[in-house]
Amino acid sequence: MSTIAKPATGKLGVMVVGLGAVTTTFMTGVLMARKGLAKPVGSMTQYDIMRVGQGEDKKYLKYNEIVPLADLNDIVFGAWDVYPENAFESAVNAEVLKAKDILPVKEELEAIKPLKAAFDKNYAKRLEGNNVKDCKDRWDMVEQLREDIRNFKKETGVDRVVVLWAASTEVYVPIDKDVHYTLADLEAAMKADDKDRIAPSMCYAYAALSEGCPFIMGAPNTTVDIPAMWELAEKTKMPIAGKDFKTGQTLVKSGFAPIIGTRCLGLSGWFSTNILGNRDGLVLDEPANFRTKEVSKLSTLESILVPEHQPDLYGHGNDEDTQYFHKVRINYYPPRNDNKEGWDNIDIFGWMGYPMQIKINFLCRDSILAAPLCLDLVLLSDLAARADRYGTQRFLSFFLKSPMHDYTKDEVPVNHLFQQYVMLKNAIREMGGYEADETID
């Protein structure tokens, strides 16, 4: 599995699905950083320094000194969206960034015009855009997307393309063994135009992998989190990563829960709620779309504080009296736009069962937290492809709220932030030709 990554020659195409708040913030930041007008704060690939080698041989290096990462100057952006506005108009509409941080790259952003989206209104009822492909069936949707990727490659002359989904969260598609378990069944369902079980996002993923592009799922959709897509990724030898960017409240959760777990404190309940008012919040206000997010957000805690492992500490609480209460709420509240406010109330207990409470109030900015993750996921997926790593990239769990894992083999996801960091660093070491290790720095 561990090959040293080949060099990053030529340009890297980054085709994003969804030209909304997150992706325009990502693009604007990359373009501004290229001109030396902004700093890519929060990006591990641009800032993190890690150790390679041990003992007398040890060195502390940045990622691009260990592995051949694509340079920011070599990125060429493309996009699909349901709305026709170009990246400049969309960045202005998103109201995440101030004019002074957008205007210096206005021309470059205006040149990023969204291709027609592969869209089905039943998957996001609150979106009204008309920049949408006319598709005969789901298979035709795939074919049209494949053509888009080929045209983009031809027109821009890029050497490689990564496809990143940062479009709206789709309604929850339960995993169905009849359709989602084998590639043959998935393809048959696409050809039979099975609209209920084949989400548009699956067509993007299928198209990307078939065209030799890594695919990243930044929303909580089950898209590539199904055995049929793992099979396609193996067949095409392409990396896949997902799902759901780990940005605000879940980042806090996966960093804070280990404090409770490592000190063997008890947990009787964790209530997370937040308000946000961007278009993402609007889509998530629809119960079927929220369900997708809820499933993703709930999984974090359960795999860090495991009731079966510590029944005295985590086996108290909810209706079935098997574990702590865990509730997650998202409330659409337009005045806050992209500036989300999250509250966490954590009911813990200590020595002899005495209760205590912890309150966390995070006044965050959704897209400001997500943009560096887009950059890191794109650069590291491209790197993984050049190191012949294909299928689910577990080392990218660090960036994801609900990391993919092989649930058909009872594999458990790693949600613990610091264990994820070890996995990330070891993958970088291996792709740079160093030994993986767990030595504490």
What are the residues binding ligand NAD (CB under 6 A)?
A: 17-22, 80-83, 94, 117-119, 124, 127, 129, 166-169, 200, 218-219, 244-245, 247-248, 278-280, 366-367, 369-370
Residue 335: how many CB atoms within 10 A of its CB? 7
- Nearest approach, Cβ of residue 65 and ligand NAD (Å): 29
Q: Which CB sits closer to ligand NAD, 166 or 348?
A: 166
- Nearest approach, Cβ of residue 277 and ligand NAD (Å): 11
- Nearest approach, Cβ of residue 357 and ligand NAD (Å): 26
207 vs 133: CA distance, rounded Å: 15
Q: Which CB sits closer to ligand NAD, 22 or 428?
A: 22
Q: Which CB sits closer to ligand NAD, 11 or 365?
A: 365
- Nearest approach, Cβ of residue 229 and ligand NAD (Å): 17
Q: Which CB sits closer to ligand NAD, 127 or 396?
A: 127
Which of 236, 92, 81 is closest to 164 using CA atoms? 81
Q: Which CB sits closer to ligand NAD, 368 or 387?
A: 368
Q: Which CB sits closer to ligand NAD, 377 or 427?
A: 377
- Nearest approach, Cβ of residue 19 and ligand NAD (Å): 6
- Nearest approach, Cβ of residue 90 and ligand NAD (Å): 7
Q: Which CB sits closer to ligand NAD, 392 or 402?
A: 402
Q: ∠116-121-123 over CA atoms, to 5°? A: 105
- Nearest approach, Cβ of residue 421 and ligand NAD (Å): 19
Residue 404: how many CB atoms within 10 A of its CB? 25
User: CB-based burial of residue 315 (10 Å sphere; 0-12 exposed, 13-18 middle, 19+ buried)?
Assistant: middle
Q: Which CB sits closer to ligand NAD, 260 or 380?
A: 380
Residue least distant from ligand NAD (Cβ):
20
Residues 6 or more apart whose Cβ sits within 8 Å of residue 410: none
* Size of the chain in residues: 441
405 vs 409: CA distance, rounded Å: 9
Q: Which CB sits closer to ligand NAD, 13 or 248?
A: 248
Q: Which CB sits closer to ligand NAD, 120 or 430?
A: 120
Strand order in the sheet with 325-332: 325-332, 266-276, 341-349, 355-363
Q: Which CB sits closer to ligand NAD, 102 or 267?
A: 102
- Nearest approach, Cβ of residue 267 and ligand NAD (Å): 24
Q: Which CB sits closer to ligand NAD, 67 or 94?
A: 94
Return the bridge partners of 216, or none. 164, 241
339 vs 278: CA distance, rounded Å: 8
- Nearest approach, Cβ of residue 16 and ligand NAD (Å): 9
- Nearest approach, Cβ of residue 292 and ligand NAD (Å): 9
- Nearest approach, Cβ of residue 108 and ligand NAD (Å): 19
- Nearest approach, Cβ of residue 60 and ligand NAD (Å): 30
